[in-house]
Amino acid sequence: MNHFAYRDGVLRAEDVDIAALAEKIGTPFYCYSTATLERHYRVFEAALPSGTLIAFSVKANGNLAVLKTLANLGAGADVVSGGELKKALAAGIAPERIVFSGVGKTQAEMQLGLDAGIHQFNVESEPELEALNQLAFASNKRAPITIRVNPDVDAKTHAKITTGTAETKFGIPWNRARGAYAIAAGMKGIEIVGVDVHIGSQITELGPFEEAFTRVAELVKQLRADGHLISRIDLGGGLGVPYRLSNEPPPDPARYGALASRIAKNMKVNLILEPGRLIAANAGILVSRVVYVKDGEAKTFAILDAGMNDLLRPALYDAYHEIVPVAEPAASAPRHRYDVVGPVCETTDLFARDRDLPELKSGDLVAFLTAGAYGAVMSSAYNARPPAPEVLVNGGEWSIVRPRLTDDALIALDRLPPWLEDQTR
């Protein structure tokens, strides 16, 4: 459930009129719903054992206002860079509720985590383990770690968001896991606290989760038999969300939580989950305006003012987003098939092909649904197009939580070297 719905003939975010908002701040823009963020977090929390650390995946949506909203509910954070770590701290998330994932942590980033006193590092390779040990020992600290292991499970999701198979840059292969823990146990700057697994994203079946979690439970028994103190299992994230209104919904959080609870039963471990998309995706929309409707030989193109620089997922993953008019169409309104495209000078700037939509005309507003995760965070300034701003609504209130850069402000980020400055005058 989300809080975007038609009322009085116009799409609203909670009690905020999207059309009126577009007139005030211009298009394109992202709009997030506080009520949806809060509801999704609470539903997920209720599905899990008491004491589970829900570490929101900052890479899904790193806006400080979104992070602060979730922090107020008790959320922790899963971060994959020093910048995300700083964002989580700036949003008021306590260091002891932050886990640091990612395959390429630099020494500077690991030092940030050590100095902050984060909950744990999810180590993804033997070289990273050695580097972290050296830093922690030199800092007179012991770094709490899990090792991310690949259970070699097919997540049955898009190839570009599968992370738990045998040959992937993420984690340590299954057959090297016990050896890696043995190495870690001999390091003076390392404290082994648990096991980490994450098999992918937008997973819509429980089967791959059950297979992976069962393998991890077996590994925990083996590691404890080897003498390691395993007190935590980080099960990652990855539960999918419905992007198509006509599709059957993916497994609900209650079934997922029951699975996690059953696997961890009697193991005497604290669970950590890293949801991102599940919390944020349906809490956000991208609002855009039709610039032109162009007739081709066999196709009709709806050309929008939002581009792939604003919402990359369709170009990168062939991802599907429902597109709806902001003005509620009449049930009898004529419909047409459109290729919905952006203004970016790339053929791949295509949001939807042959999409059946109510008739569109220049100036109409449309909204991309389920855009609150992996939307604004993946935006860029390609074609010198400032990324879309972000807005958070709360009931009838709204606030710009990331402003739109002007063209001049974007250009001002560049610097000319001294030998070129005189040539521009």
The encoded tokens of residue 357 equal: 């939509």
**Tokens 């991102």, located at residue:** 276
The encoded tokens of residue 71 equal: 């922090």
Report H helices in 47-176.
64-71, 82-90, 107-116, 126-138
Residue 13's beta-bridge partner residues? 4, 16
d(CA 220, CA 228): 9
Helix axis angle, 64-71 to 82-90, nearest 10°: 60
345 in active site? yes
| Collapsed DSSP state (helix, strand, coil) of residue 189 | coil
Which of 1, 245, 330, 345 is an active site residue? Answer: 345
14: number of Cβ within 10 Å: 19
**Using alpha carbons only, what angle is made at residue 77 by residues 75 and 80, rounded to the nearest 5 degrees?**
165
d(CA 423, CA 173): 56
| Collapsed DSSP state (helix, strand, coil) of residue 180 | helix
Q: Which of 355, 366, 359 is nearest to 333 (CA)?
A: 359
Catalytic residues: 345
